[in-house]
A and B are shown apart, each in its own frame.
Chain A
Amino acid sequence: MSTFKGAIVVDKNRCKGCALCVLACPKGVISLAVRKVNVHGYPYVEPVDLDRCTGCSSCAIVCPDGCITVYRKKLENENGE
């Protein structure tokens, strides 16, 4: 069975910390950075558990500021190789 493995990159200085992506992510990959703010003074999100990311793009689609870039790779076997 082939599976997908994904990864996201967050433009933290564009992020305003609305956390809509945190709600949209079905795997709990993203979370608000704890007690940290960006150059604009906004809290921001960061990937905390990228191993679970499937690259479904839900976070990026709901992001109002277009801060998230999504990558996805198809894996050929169950071991994730």
Chain B
Amino acid sequence: MTANDIISPENLVYKKPELMNDTPMHYCPGCSHGVVHKLIAEIIEEMGMEEKTVGISPVGCAVFAYRYLDIDWQEAAHGRAPALATAIKRLWPDRLVFTYQGDGDLACIGTAETIHALNRGEHIAIIFINNAIYGMTGGQMAPTTLIGQKTSTCPYGRDPELHGYPLNITEIASTLRGTCYVSRQSVDTVGSILKAKKAIRKAFEASMKGLGSSLVEIVSTCSSGWKLTPEKANEWMREKMFEEYVKGDLKDTTNLK
């Protein structure tokens, strides 16, 4: 049996989700954004919400997310995605509303919006991509940068005396009464990708059931900003990032599977 006998529609087991269009993505090779985009597209398809989803794209590398997924999008000012999501969800309660934000957007300039939207228990899901760096603007230090991590604005490593400590926004979110589901995942291996998919699905379902706000942090790589190959970036993430940002569910009051 040759490969040509197997390559036919009835044997198809995996392909790029329909919602993800053919526009070439501007992300660097090996960037975690692509995997998370794919998961979101798959989940929306599985939930049958293609026509009823509004995504809020951030400022940062994912600013062009609206080019790649064929759902309704709204582009927010820097850090203001949760505020915009609040408005859309309140005006249009039957829509699945989620924000897609990086750490510079969510954990720095948008800290206030994020914490207050989560604390109000808005029925939105926030996808938080944490790569410990400002990827789009040239790898500057972010609030989430690890102690000792070298970036273009702290070339000798982050020093707590000078730069303060890493901000663990997901842990803060888990202490707020408005949140129903707070989880931290990664997308470096097949197993972790499937777990992340489950977590995002749960966050989306919780928002549609009106249980409160959800935050799913995806600990990600930035191979360009970290100046590593995609393979080494994944290794560095497993070695250093998971120590500071421990994976798992931090809060789950949803009673969903």
Contacts and interface: CB of A to CB of B under 8 A. Distances in A.
Are the chains A and B members of one assembly? yes
A65 B17 CA distance: 11
* SS of B interface (majority): mixed
Interface stretch (B29-37, B56-64, B174-182, B210-218): B29-37
Interface of B: 1, 3, 5-8, 11-17, 20, 22, 24-25, 27-35, 38, 189-190, 193-194, 223, 230-231, 234
Contacts of A65: 24-25, 27, 34
Given A9-B7, A40-B24, A81-B1, A72 B30 contact: no
Contact of B230 (A19, A50, A60, A66): A19
Chain A: number of interface residues, binned into ranges: 35 or more
Given A71-B13, A81-B1, A66 B20 contact: yes
Nearest to A68: B14
A62 interface: yes
A16 to B, nearest CB: 4
Interface of A: 5-7, 9, 14, 16-20, 23-24, 40, 42, 47, 50, 53, 55, 57-58, 60-73, 75, 80-81
Contacts of B1: 5, 73, 75, 80-81
